[in-house]
Structure 1
């Protein structure tokens, strides 16, 4: 009996270690922003200097057009020019005080600039002006989620989904909340919905893969992590997730290579740094 227990103890310790590692990855996943970033309605090309110049020409021809300022503000936001974006959204709202889309767009810029209260005020105003505007609920939900107000965040994502949103972020972010609560079957369902709406985004594949892994469905988890890497090979999380599967399987060399790639992409991604040290030291 004693010998049998001795045989099981290393396996039990290994299982506990893997469970702890998975918990760390789940916590990291909960910090993600969603499948296609925050400004999902604006194509990345709209942040280009050429496009901004074209939008500026439109504004020069009609400086009283709030729509033009809203579109250029979104383009500035895509290009990381947050102060310029804020100025344009301010102008759009001054010209059209009930411009609920501009309030939601300005809220996001406030959030990027670290002014969370102003962001919340703008999301609230956008929803007050149009209680059926799904993007405002999703944006406010993200604000609540990052502030640790999980119930309020869940309610906002739920509301967006009830409004028949086609925005993948609502399902992705509700999935993250389910995942954080250990409700992995619901999380997998939401990540799958997000994937159907945004099949080229790696984030929901990573999210779903982690929930599969939490349910010991290693094959489906591995397939999702591999798909995430194929979609975008520059995401450190995807490589670290793949590495964890290799590590669980005892394939330390392959795990090390994947962790190394994750660290190259993001030297500050702790699950990858810790994972690499672990497999190199074992």
Structure 2
């Protein structure tokens, strides 16, 4: 009788863990993908330039659309979205077929909450240059956030067919595979994203969740730990680590990790719910 009771307890714990994982996967599917999207705008040197030095460049040559595009990128990285928008507007005014500026401006529109303007700019960028991978990735992410998963998949697929080296295409396609339960494909895409951006924590979290969904607990745990080492300020990483501890019955360690996740993001539901479960009793 004791063995049966233990079996029932283990089974119940397994069902509970799978339900929690399903909840975490649902939340993960809503994430935006790798952080720092503005680091992927077309003119990469914008991230290393000082705003004042870029302004000096513009003062010397106020008719240079490239300069406005670079400074707009720098403004965007600094969260100064209105200034970024004005610079991208100016770049497009000076060069009406500046497809990179359209794509960059689309991201700013998205951050400002104007999804229709963002979509229009991505469409215009692609109309000008049908081989511009960044515009497909940006539009795909816009579609994914709107729940238009097939359109999103098509755009990420197109970027990948164009031989993009942007990890967001693989990461975001991996999230879509993951949401469909196609974890083998998701793991492959997350692994490619990791190879392209080995210092990004998000693909490790994504791959870890798919490993966990296929009961590969050791690889999942290794990925979550790596995500924490790369960036210890992401609540999802700590909550994912806690989920493995919880599955293993290590409630004290799980509660500690859930608590850190909740501290980093008090609104992150898996952290709050996990903390309540593991501290109960």
On whether the aligned pair clears a TM of 0.5, the verdict is: yes
Pairing of 1:227-246 with structure 2 (within 5 A): 227-246=226-245
**How far 1:63 sits from its partner (Å)?**
0.5
Q: Matched residues in 2 for 1:199 and 1:106: separation?
A: 27
Contact 2:262/2:271, CA 8 A, preserved across alignment:
yes
> Residue 38 of structure 2 aligns to a residue in which SS?
coil
Which has the higher mean CA deviation after the structures are superposed, 3-12 or 68-77?
A: 3-12
What residue is the counterpart of 2:180 in the other structure? Answer: 181
* Cα RMSD (Å): 1.8
CA positional deviation for 1:267: 1.1
Residue 30 of structure 1 deviates from its aligned partner by 1.3
Q: Counterpart of 1:39 in 2: which secondary structure?
A: helix
Q: For 1:1-282, what aligned pairs fall within 5 Å after superposition? A: 7-41=6-40, 46=46, 51-282=50-281
Structure 2's unaligned 5+ residue stretches are none
Change (3 A) 1:3 1:264: closer
Rounded Cα–Cα distance in structure 2 between residues aligned with 1:95 and 1:117: 23
Q: CA deviation at 1:268?
A: 1.1
Paired residue total: 280
1:192 offset after TM fit, Å?
0.1
Deviation, 1:29, is: 1.2
Residues 77 and 109 of structure 1 are in contact (CA less than 8 Å); yes or no, is this contact kept in structure 2?
A: yes
Distance in structure 2 (CA, Å) of the matches to 1:233 and 1:123: 33
CA shift for structure 1 position 20: 1.1
Give distance in 2, aligned partners of 1:224 and 1:197: 16
Structure 1 position 232, deviation (Å): 0.6
CA distance in 2, matches of 1:191, 1:81: 31
Contact kept, 8 Å, 2:32 with 2:145, in 1: the verdict is no
